[in-house]
Structure 1
Amino acid sequence: MTKFTTAPVGTVRPSQLLWTYGPGALVDLPNLSVVTMGLDQWRESTCEVVDEPRLLAAVRRTLGPQVERLRKPPVADDDVDPLSAEAHQGVPVRPFPRWLRCVRCGLLGEFDSGLFDLDADAFRPERSSFVHTNCEKGKRSDAVPARFLLACENGHLDDFPWHWFVHGGPSDCGGTLRFFERGASLQTENLWVRCDTCEAAKSLAHAFGEEGRRALPACRGRHPHLDRYEDGCEARPRAVVLGATNTWFPVTLSALAIPLAEDKLGQFVEDAWEDLKDAEDASELRGVLKTLRKRGHFPALDALTTEEVWDAVERKRSGASTATSDAASTEDMKRPEWTVLTAAPAASSWPHFLSERVDVPTAFASTIASVSLVKRLREVNALLGFTRVDSPEEVLDVGARDRVASLTAARPRWVPASEVHGEGVFVRFDEAELRRWEARPAVRERDERLRRGHRGWRASRDLPPDAHYPGVRYAMLHSLAHLLIREFALECGYGAASIRERVYADADAASPMGGFLLYTAAADADGTLGGLVELGKPENLGRVLAQALRRARVCSSDPLCSEHDPGQDRSLHAAACHACEFVAETSCERGNRYLDRALLVPTFECVDAAFFGRA
């Protein structure tokens, strides 16, 4: 639940505080707009700890060793008295933008100027709003946020400079400003602001484009979620509209919870190491274990004694632990997952991961090496920061990490995280077949076509042109994963937006990877209902895969789709569009980039690069 000082103003789902409304993001409520404050102002004691050592190690490599925990956003109970102190548990927010507009007289002013009052409804928080009590056109009128702001590529966000804009720069005029409309449409050229004193007026059309860049003041380096200004920002601010998606992009990191040791004792020590590592003796460890039992996150702990755990802790400290925790110190988050997913499944009582190897569909035995049904999995996501104006893919590059805005004023001691439970299907492809396919001349030509688009896209953003190209193997596996997501959604009843992908593609490593995991997850403890696992069985997977490939051969946008050349328009996909390949942004790990169905099946434009021939 969000709040304004002590007044509740609305609700959002906990997962939205990672993906949509995290610190620094604007929450556009029905009657007002607020900014989610930084983690410094969250009540840490109300945020439950999430145990995932591999992800925590990766977060520390990015944000520093001072990060102690991953924590869930606070959740308020639904059955509490709205006037009690318990009802105020939530995430702190503040009205932003500060400027409001009266819907009747068009008066523009800041919310704390005395012109507007907050009408908070404790029983119906979504009805909370600002009102213009003494409106000249009515005794009481609603006041809504002025829907224009300034943002820059360094993550700063500021109020729109209304006085500067209407007066063409610094001015001694302190007259009242009014917002009004001319014309029938709501295009920016019909939206005007006027000063009542000097009668200066200007259309909002002058706030955008190159003219807007010249007309707007320099960036003040404002971080409203941290209550501070940074000096020395040289980026030119640009006008943005409240509610625009480019005002906040989350920078996240995710990991699948996988077994890191071969026995219960070793796995428990790996999972709970952050709690166990500071125990100085067995007596102190006994108190730590008592606390962990109350927390209830480690069912295996009931079968372990204090002495066993102490011996295992001592072995880990001395470097003699046999756990496979080395994966937590590598830069590649997917490599340990690939190792576990491709290993022969073993009987496991670990509550977060359970897989079963099944037969490969007969029709695809020459291309698919193995299929595993992941009957139980947990994915943990952590929020590291955010960007504005430019997406993380455009920012997280050489020398650009400083453009990622922080969640706290100082270095964070913890970061928000969420965990989801579910099921999935893991498909591993035959490595020899992949290498033969990659050696074809037609595949190399498609690879070069995608590479030209990659270079052009990055060059247009002043990024190193050849960096971070994932390769043609990734493009093929990614394209097939999208086809199966769309087909699974038709077959199993899950919405397409709830099915996600993790693509494992590395052709150059000593231990190459070639496969993907499709999974669906829910934020509750029960997870999902088994429909996706059922489709992974050989009699179903073969049929669904064949259907997906048949549909991909002809797109309703052909021949334009199949003939698309990414090198001409600097895009990051070839034969792919909304009609055949694109999926929801929540499902795709690359934002619908690096897709080409010509790498899977023959198309009108290319018949020789298909991995599946005429399947």
Structure 2
Amino acid sequence: MINHKTTNIPLRRAELITPFGVGAISTNNEGVNLMTGALDQWFTGKNVDKSEFSIKEPRLSKVLGVKEFRLPPDYRTSLGNTEKRNTEMKIPMLLFPTWFYCNRCRKMEKLNPAEISNKKNCKYCSNGHLVQVPFVVVCRKGHIDDFPWKEWVHSSLAPSCTAPIKLISTGGATLTSMRIECTSPSCLASRSLKGITTKFENNDSPLFSKIEDGEKYYCTGRKHWYGTIETSHENCKEKPFVLLKNSNNVYYPSVISALYLPGDYSNELEKTISFFKNDLILNEIEILQANISNETVAKILKEKFPIDLEFAEENVIIKALELIHEETKEMEEDQYENILRVMRYQEYCSLIDEKKDEDLRVLSEFNINYDKSPFYQYGLQKIHLVPKLRDTRILYGFQRLNSNHSLNRTSIKNGKSLLFKKPDAPSNNWLPGYTVYGEGIFFEFDKKLLDSWEEKQCVKKHFTAMESRYKQVLLNGIIEERELSPRFVLLHTLAHVLISEMIFECGYSSSALRERIYVSKQTDSEMNGFLIYTASGDSEGTLGGLVRLGQTQNLIQILQKGIEKARWCSSDPVCTDIGIQSGQGIHSLNVAACHNCGYLPETSCEEFNMFLDRSLLVGTPNNPEIGFFGKVI
């Protein structure tokens, strides 16, 4: 990878996880689009000490099968830096798309991916400036490449003409007004761009089937973020699709997050585990555990580190060895099937009771068993204030075209092979991530009320339409499978309604608040609640405004206002009617929810603004009984 040129891009470290992680397109200060390079080159600089960027989250380490997580490096100049540590570290970036056209003569030119600095002048005319083309080509395996401009205009997979080409626009707003022309007097080939972004019913694309009669254009297997070397191409027989470079489906980051959970360990056990997690000691423990019992390992360690383990009895050391072994042991394939639900249930169990840990504080504001505030009318069982929490978010891959983020050993391996050029190298046993320290409000609803509401025939009938559309999309492999139910849609929509109302009072922006849905009807992990918490801790942290809104006198008003506003959308009756008839939003998986009433910024919603329906909160004019809060209204 050529990396001797630099450019300034206004990105925060968290944005290098999502939405501008490895393989994503961002824009520098000159308006030029660049692609984030592979992780192999992220920690190259002077006097690099990677331990400074290390993040520990045992649950996620075990699930993703890596040793550690790291914060993206921040740039520090070596000039005037007294420490002289971790300086001159830069994130690798490559120019993409690499095709440009002149804003005057319209001739096109392909540049070197390493030309990442300033805007370029046209080499064909004296006054023109080069402008990046708006299209890219992607496939389902994550590959991305430039649109084959010369092949398209010459209707050939291997054109012999080498003359410059032009991108001509007649000034219209559609692709029909754009065409490519060859400047060779002996060729004069010309072809319109009409329909190049179309997706046919048989899942074909014009690029795949219409470049040359009788021939197919397959994906080039280009991994542009790898760099300019030959290994950035691989064999691929996927059908390529043309997208606008700023389309949402060009890049779907695969991100997993987990809240910090306090362990029920004694101080001695905590200190012992912390001591054993030193890299050198941990390696020695792994070697010993492979050959002898934990009892023998404990005696050896006690003799070898008498001062460091002076406080720990032998049974404490054995327990610490067992816990560390469990953390580092590779997960079985069948364990991945329900791992996300299991992790959510662990968090749920920590949130439903009061806690006063260093990184997780949970305080009770309402409990139906002890309090008689108006919350019981809304079916609430508990409301807990969370003045402090820690959320760790890790990038483990990405996808293009579809966002089916199923979590299993195969998806984790494929994701890592996209992020690293050499994913199996011992030095690449890590993934990028960041930690949020924030605050939140946790809501738990009455199970019996939810059960009786779901059993209503009108609710079942209303929900059937969304459920059938979901099953069809799932059958096509477009999204991941989840436990979908009326209560999930109800609580998900209510979380959106409350966030939209809270932003006017708490001092956070809508993109700084985030939802975390805890819903399951499984007997071993039953959950009926959600958490609203701050999501941008690297810039805003814990301001206290959200927890203040969770106090009874404030929250009851927000709840009342939110539910009242959910009765009507500024696009009604169209919003509700279209949603009921055919669905709306991504994959038609929403009912009464649109940009004017139910949507949040995509960074705030776990489901990318899918599975929303105001009707399940407040009912419809023709069917008020389906609303869970109908009686309250």
TM-score interval, normalised by the smaller of the two chains:
0.7 to 0.9
1:543 aligns with 2:546: no
2:298 aligned partner: none
> Which letter does structure 2 place at the counterpart of 1:131?
N
Asked if 1 retains the 8 angstrom alpha-carbon contact of 2:62 and 2:328, the reply is no
For the residues of structure 1 that align with 2:347 and 2:627, how far apart are their CA atoms? 28
Distance (whole Å) between structure 1 residues aligned to residue 401 and residue 408 of structure 2: 15
Query: Cα distance, 1:512 vs. partner?
Result: 1.4
Partner Cα distance (2:273, 2:515) in 1: 26
Alignment partner, residue 108 of structure 2: 108
> Structure 1 residue 215 and structure 2 residue 210: aligned?
yes
Q: Distance in 1 between matches of 2:268 and 2:472?
A: 52
In the alignment, the residues of structure 2 paired with residue 464 and residue 72 of structure 1 have an alpha-carbon distance, to the nearest angstrom, of: 29
Q: How does 1:496-575 map to 2 (within 5 A)?
A: 496-524=510-538, 527-565=541-579, 568-569=582-583, 571-575=588-592
Which of 125, 142, 153 is residue 129 of structure 2 equivalent to? 142
Q: What CA deviation, in whole Å up to 9, does each residue of 1:348-385 have, x standing for no partner? A: 3x2x1111112357112252111111000111100010
- Aligned-pair identity (%): 27
Which of residues 483, 496, 511 is equivalent to 1:482? 496
Corresponding residue of 2:290: none
Partner in structure 2 of residue 371 of structure 1: 383
3-state SS of 2:253 partner: strand
Contact 1:249 1:392 in 2 (8 A): no
Name the residue aligned to 2:255: 252
Partners of 2:400 and 2:479 in 1: CA distance:
21
Within a 5 Å distance, the mapping from 1:79-158 to structure 2 comes to: 88-112=88-112, 120=117, 128-132=118-122, 134-138=123-127, 141-158=128-145
Deviations 1:515-541 (A, max 9, x none): 111001433387221111011111221
Please tell me whether residue 591 in structure 1 is matched to residue 608 in structure 2.
Answer: yes
**Pairs within 5 Å for 1:4-43:** 4-29=3-28, 30-43=30-43
Deviation at 1:551, TM superposition (A): 1.4
- CA shift for structure 1 position 3: 9.4
State the one-letter code of the partner of 2:38: G
Does the 8 Å contact 1:193/1:204 carry over to 2?
Answer: yes
Q: Tell me: CA distance 1:338–1:266, structure 2 relative to 1, closer, same or farther (3 Å).
A: farther
Shift of 1:180: 3.5
Matched residue SS, 1:562: helix
The residue type paired with residue 32 of structure 2 is L
Q: Structure 1 pair 397/99, CA: closer, same or farther in 2 (3 Å)?
A: same
> 1:184-214: per-residue Cα shift (whole Å, max 9, x none)?
2253222232222222222222633243332
Q: 1:156 to 1:185 in 2, by over 3 A?
A: same
**CA deviation string 1:140-174 (max 9, x = no partner):** x4333333221111111112212211111144534
Kindly indicate whether the alpha-carbon contact (under 8 Å) linking 2:502 and 2:558 is maintained by their aligned counterparts in 1.
yes
For residue 530 of structure 2, give the secondary structure of its aligned residue in structure 1: strand
Q: For the aligned residues, what is the CA RMSD?
A: 3.6
Query: Which residue of structure 2 aligns with residue 386 of structure 1?
Result: 398
Tell me, in whole angstroms, the C-alpha distance in 2 between the residues paired with 1:387 and 1:503.
23
Q: Report the counterpart of residue 424 of structure 1 in structure 2.
A: 440
Q: Which residue of 1 aligns with 2:294?
A: none
SS class of match (2:382): strand
- In 1, the alpha carbon distance for the partners of 2:545 and 2:451 equals 33
CA distance in structure 2 between the partners assigned to 1:573 and 1:588 by the alignment: 14
Secondary structure class of the residue paired with 1:10: coil
Aligned partners of 1:387, 1:135: CA distance in 2, in Å? Answer: 38
Distance 1:72 1:268, change over 3 A: farther
Kept in 2: contact 1:535–1:541 (CA 8 A): yes
Aligned counterpart in structure 1 of residue 421 of structure 2, from 376, 390, 409: 409
Measure the CA separation in 2 of the matches of 1:596 and 1:315: 52
Whether 2:62 is the aligned partner of 1:73: answer no
Equivalent of residue 243 in structure 2, options 240, 259, 262: 240
Tell me how far apart the structure 1 counterparts of residues 383 and 9 of structure 2 sit (CA, whole Å): 45
- Match of 1:167? 154
* Whole-Å separation in 2 of the counterparts to 1:308 and 1:9: 51
Consecutive unaligned residues in structure 1, runs of 5 or more: 61-66, 121-127, 288-304
Tell me what 1:316 maps to. Answer: 319
Secondary structure of the 1:180 match is strand
Q: Whole-Å Cα distance in 2 between the matches of residues 371 and 462 of structure 1?
A: 37
Structure 2 gap ranges (5+): 199-204, 212-216, 286-300
* TM-score using structure 2 length: 0.81
The answer to whether residue 183 in structure 2 is matched with residue 196 in structure 1 is: yes
CA distance in 1, matches of 2:618, 2:175: 46
Shifted more, 157-166 versus 549-558: the winner is 549-558
The equivalent of 1:291 in structure 2 is none
Closer/same/farther in 2, CA of residues 310 and 240 from structure 1, 3 Å limit: farther
Kept in 2, the 8 Å contact 1:424–1:519? The answer is: yes
Give the C-alpha shift of residue 397 in structure 1: 9.5
Match of 1:353? 360
User: Does the C-alpha gap of structure 1 residues 263 and 119 become closer, same or farther in structure 2, counting only changes over 3 Å?
Assistant: closer
Deviations 1:104-150 (A, max 9, x none): 3333222249xxx9595xxxxxxx23334x44334xx4333333221
The one-letter code sitting in structure 1 at the alignment partner of 2:402 is: D
Conserved 8 A contact 1:576-1:596:
yes
Aligned partners of 2:323, 2:238: CA distance in 1, in Å? 51
1:457 equivalent to 2:473? Answer yes
Tell me, yes or no, if the aligned pair for 1:220 and 1:229 is still in contact at 8 Å: no
1:266-299: CA deviation from partner (whole Å, max 9, x where unpaired):
4456677643633553698799xxxxxxxxxxxx
CA offsets, 1:201-259, max 9 Å, x none? 22222633243332342112111112435554222112222222221110110001120
Normalised to the residue count of structure 1, the TM-score between the two structures is 0.83
The answer (yes or no) to whether the contact 2:101–2:167 under 8 Å persists in 1 is: no
Separation of aligned partners in 2, 1:371 and 1:246: 37
SS at match of 2:473: helix
Indicate the larger mover: 19-28 or 357-366. Answer: 357-366
Q: Which residue of 2 aligns with 1:53?
A: 58
CA distance in 2, matches of 1:324, 1:188: 54
* Aligned partner of residue 534 in structure 1, secondary structure: helix
Matches within 5 A, 1:261-276: 261-267=264-270, 274-275=277-278
Aligned counterparts of 2:306 and 2:183: Cα–Cα separation in 1: 72
Letter in 2 for 1:257: Y
The one of 165, 170, 179 aligned to 1:178: 165
Partner of 1:301: none
Q: Deviations 1:442-493 (Å, cap 9, x if unpaired)?
A: 222233232122123334x35699x534211211111111111111112212
Alpha-carbon distance change, 185 to 78 in structure 1, aligned in 2, over 3 angstroms: farther
Q: Distance in 1 between matches of 2:121 and 2:135?
A: 19
1:334 to 316, 319, 344: 344
Q: 1:90 is paired with a residue of what secondary structure? A: coil
- What per-residue deviation string (whole Å, max 9, x for no partner) do you get for residues 50-71 of structure 1? 11111222222xxxxxx21111
- How far apart, in 1, do the equivalents of 2:395 and 2:312 lie? 32
Q: Deviations over 1:285-341 (max 9, x none)?
A: 799xxxxxxxxxxxxxxxxx6433685872235538999999x98712211101111
